[in-house]
Amino acid sequence: MPSTARIALNRPLRRLFDYLVPEGLSVKPGQRVKIPFGRQQAIGLIVETDIQPPEGITLKPIHNALEDWPALPDETFQLLSWASDYYQHPLGECLFTALPPALRRGRPALEKTEDWWRACGSGVALPTNAHKQKTLLDWIAQHKQGVKGSAVIKAGFTRSQLKALSDKELIQAANPASDTCQSQQYREAVAAPDLSAAQREAASQLPLPAAGFSASLLYGITGSGKTEIYLHYLKQNLAAQDQALVLVPEINLTPQTVARFQRYFGERILVWHSALNDRERLSAWLKIRNGEPVILIGTRSAALLPFTGLKTLIVDEEHDSSYKQGEGFRYSGRDVAVYRAHLNHCPIILGSATPSLESYHNALCGKYRLIRLEERAGEAFPPTISLLDIRSRPLEGGLSRPALQSIRQTLDSGSQALVFVNRRGFAPVMMCFDCGHMVECPRCDTRLTYHRRDRAMRCHHCDYQTPATENCPKCKSEAFKPVGHGTEQSEDVLAANFPDTPIVRVDRDSTQRKGSIQSILKQVNSGEPCILVGTQMLAKGHDFPNVTLAVVINADGGLFSVDFRAPEQLIQTLLQVSGRAGRGSKPGKVVVQTCHSDHPLLRALCNGRYLDMADQLIKERETGQLPPFRAMAIFRAEADTMAQSLQILDSIKPLTNAPGIETWGPLPALIARRADRHRAQLILNTDNRRRLNLLLTGICQSLDQTRFSKGAKWMIDVDPQETG
């Protein structure tokens, strides 16, 4: 019988395709092949071989294999198959996420390296009149490591002279990538500072790579020296030939972290994030796939790459919501990493000053080991946090008098201050005080944010924008004013109050240009007095030793939200922002402005003990029958009308009728219309994850066979991060 194979394509289809394997070709799961598909050709990945195709179907043969080794080795293949089933996303698209774009398109798995040349020290003698060739040969011989072809041309020689020398076997092509003697002995620079007693105590509780699978939750308050612990751990326990993965939320925001790793491990550090170009991605991917002993620092999708010798995983800031992909293949990089550690029989360390309730719950049930590190490293102490009630206080750009005074004192003492504002732009709403008109996005159920710098009104939910007007667009009244405040407004007020101090704004608008975050960090790290004003971006793991004051202009956003995760996220953000203050030798102070200074959550914040608050929130989740006590999944629908969206979900609802599965909805989403799409959702909640998974698999299969009205779409989100 001829041999056969089942193949996955990079398409949103919950099905695979069967092909004949031509004689002489042998294929393995995970291998890339080119196949005829319809009237075109497609790149596929082998999923299974020697399958029993359904009877009466003539199979087409595979064209060829792109390489004779599997692009996705066994463990990566298993990982992605598991993720496809767990997150209910088509296998083909899951598998292809682990390939760099060039390989998805069928390009060869080869690095486009430059030609390198090295003198052989032998070969036929040169004719005496070949002066130029002789000079070139001498020049190349001087460079023991070899020289690049482009450098040869730059030095004034020609390609034909190179070829002449190569034909005479006087020089040979030297591939720098295969120059293993160089790439394997990674230089290890700089001695690490000694760990403090508290750090040593925490580090000693981390299981060694050889001990097999374990998950540890390293709860270390901000500035306690978690990063230093990771560095020591890897330095001491990662063997020379091993690979390690360090997941971080957003690499471009924390170049300092990468720099610290590079100082310890030099060229062994490799980075992976969305700003890499296709060539850089392919190059990094090949190193990982070839088993080079790299320590990869990467964002979420790094968790899916084809490592072959992974011996340790670390997830820094494990609570960060950016680990969950919000569209397409909606996986959690953190959770995939935990499963991966399990597949690799190796340890994973989840670190955070504000652990997610999911991970904390796992620690409380004994699934994860909880390691506590509750003092700051070096000479630093935790900051003092106080609430400032702003009811009936006059505000300037959101800032109260006492807050401005604290900033002045901080600057006078030669330190830096940080102001946290939860909205970018100038003001979240423009309102007419005559007719009450508020400017809304024509495409979404939201209001437009006023951006004064660009004189524009922008929607933060779609790409709509329109020029700002002086007067009310409806009644032409001049009483047309901003309501609420964003970073631009606070920046203006601070500039007016502190004309001699540089104000540094950090938000998505000010950091769009490449390298701008670097120059911002440079200014802050110079230590000169300045005021940082910015959004969530400021809460992300930065180490600003000279910031001693953090002001939160309004803490109340998440207190009364409908999203069940909002209180958790609020506390995490506030503590992370607070954690930027007082990291050096000077003590830090945090002022939190609020209209609800008697709210229990905010009161608890003042003693800064995250786990106490987490205990409280965990109890509420248990009472409310919510994750992490229950498993959750959401079907979302979007269409040209709300009726169509609700209709899709109404047709799904009866299919969810199973013991132990609760459903809520269907209901319109919090922002019911976004970019002219009407959105609704149906929430599933259960104490039986296994049953939920089986049920979802069945439902998704049957939805795939159903035709809905044109433009209508459904999606499934398992373990959703947002429920609004």
- Measured distance CA(690)–CA(148) in Å, rounded: 57
Please report how close the Cβ of residue 371 comes to ligand ADP at its closest, in angstroms.
12
Other residues' Cβ atoms within 10 Å of the Cβ of residue 53: 14
Neighbours of 361 (CB within 10 A): 19
3-class DSSP state of 306: coil
Interface segment toward ligand ADP; rule CB under 6 A; list 3-11, 188-196, 560-568, 688-696: 188-196
- Cβ 472 to Zn ion shortest distance, Å: 3
Task: Name the DSSP letter for residue 75.
Answer: H
The entry of Zn ion, ligand ADP, none near residue 474 (CB within 5 to 8 angstroms by kind) is Zn ion
Q: Which residue, 474 or 653, is less far from Zn ion as judged by CB? A: 474
Report, in Å, the least distance between residue 386 CB and ligand ADP: 22
- Taking Cα atoms as reference points, which of 652, 707, 708, 661 lies closest to residue 684? 661
- Looking at the Cβ atoms of 243 and 352, the one nearer to ligand ADP is 352
Q: Does 294 bind ligand ADP (CB under 6 A)?
A: no
Token readout for 358 is: 């999911």
Out of Zn ion, ligand ADP, none, what residue 477 binds, judged by CB under 5 to 8 A for its kind, is Zn ion
Closest to 65 (Cα-Cα) out of 10, 13, 17, 5: 5
Considering the complex, what minimum distance in angstroms separates the CB of residue 485 from Zn ion?
Answer: 21
List the one residue from 7, 195, 419, 550 that touches ligand ADP (CB under 6 A).
Answer: 195
Work out how close the CB of 359 gets to ligand ADP at its nearest, in angstroms, rounded to a whole number: 16
Instruction: For the CB of residue 360, give the shortest distance to ligand ADP in the complex, in Å.
Output: 17
x/- map, 485-514, ligand ADP, by CB under 6 A? ------------------------------
- Tell me 268's DSSP state: G
Contacted entry of ligand ADP, Zn ion, none for residue 464, CB cut-off 5 to 8 Å set by kind:
Zn ion
Contact 447, 441 (CB under 8 A): yes
Residue 385's nearest CA partner among 612, 556, 615, 551 is 551
Nearest CA to 626 among 361, 333, 367? Answer: 361
- Per-residue x/- track, 530-559, ligand ADP (CB under 6 A): -------------x----------------
Q: Which ranges constitute the DSSP H helices of 377-515?
A: 401-412, 487-497
Binding flag, residue 582, ligand ADP (CB under 6 A): no
Residues that contact ligand ADP, how many (by CB under 6 A): 17
- As a whole number of angstroms, the distance between CA 716 and CA 12 comes to 13
The item of ligand ADP, Zn ion, none sharing an interface with residue 168, based on CB under 5 to 8 Å by kind, is none
Q: Does 199 bind ligand ADP (CB under 6 A)?
A: yes
Q: What is the distance of C-alpha 479 from the center of its chain?
A: 43
Q: Which of 319, 447 has the CB closer to Zn ion?
A: 447
Q: Buried (b) or exposed (e) across 513-525, using 16+ Cβ within 10 A?
A: eeeebeebbeebe
DSSP string, 9-55: ESSS-S--EEEE--TT----TT-EEEEEETTEEEEEEEEEES--PPT
Site string for ligand ADP, 206-245 (x = CB under 6 A): --------------x-xxxxxxx-----------------
> Is cis: bond before 628, omega within 30 of 0?
yes
Burial 25-40 (b: 16+ CB within 10 A, else e): bebbbbbbbebebeee
* Residue 605, binding choice from Zn ion, ligand ADP, none, Cβ under 5 to 8 Å by partner class: none
Closer residue to Zn ion (CB): 14 or 447? 447
Check the CA dihedral 101-105-110-113 and report its sign: negative
| Complex with ligand ADP: residue 223 or 558, whichever CB lies closer | 223
255-265 and 516-525 helices cross at what angle (nearest 10)? Answer: 80
Based on the shown chain and the rule CB under 6 A, indicate whether residue 193 belongs to the binding site for ligand ADP: yes
Binding region for Zn ion (CB under 5 A): 432, 434-435, 437, 441, 443-444, 459, 461-462, 464, 472, 474-475, 477
Query: Parallel, antiparallel, or unpaired for β 295-298 and 269-272?
Result: parallel
User: Which candidate, 494, 384, 478, 483, places its Cα nearest to that of 438?
Assistant: 483
What's the one-letter identity of residue 512? Q
Return the number of the residue (134 or 437) whose C-beta is nearest Zn ion.
437
608 scored as a contact of ligand ADP (CB under 6 A): no
- Residue 465 touches ligand ADP, criterion: CB under 6 A: no
**For residue 311, what are its two tokens?**
């011996």
Please, what is the Cα angle at 664 between 658 and 668, to 5 degrees? 135
Residues in the chain: 724
Residues between 377 and 416 that touch ligand ADP (CB under 6 A): 377-378
> How many Å from the N-terminal Cα to the C-terminal Cα in the chain?
55
Judged by CB under 6 A, the stretch of 23-31, 195-203, 276-284, 666-674 that binds ligand ADP is: 195-203
91 binds, among Zn ion, ligand ADP, none (CB under 5 to 8 A by kind): none
Q: Please identify, among the stretches 30-38, 191-199, 280-288, 567-575, the one whose residues bind ligand ADP according to the rule CB under 6 A.
A: 191-199
Told to check if 196 binds ligand ADP by CB under 6 A, we report yes
* Closest CB 505 distance from Zn ion, rounded Å: 23
Instruction: Between 195 and 432, name the residue whose CB sits nearer to ligand ADP.
Output: 195
Q: How far is the CB of 492 from Zn ion (least distance, A)?
A: 24
| Beta-sheet pairing, 465-467 with 456-458 | antiparallel
Least spacing, CB of residue 246 vs ligand ADP, in Å: 12
Q: Can you give the binding site for ligand ADP, defined by CB under 6 A?
A: 193-196, 199, 220, 222-228, 377-378, 543, 583
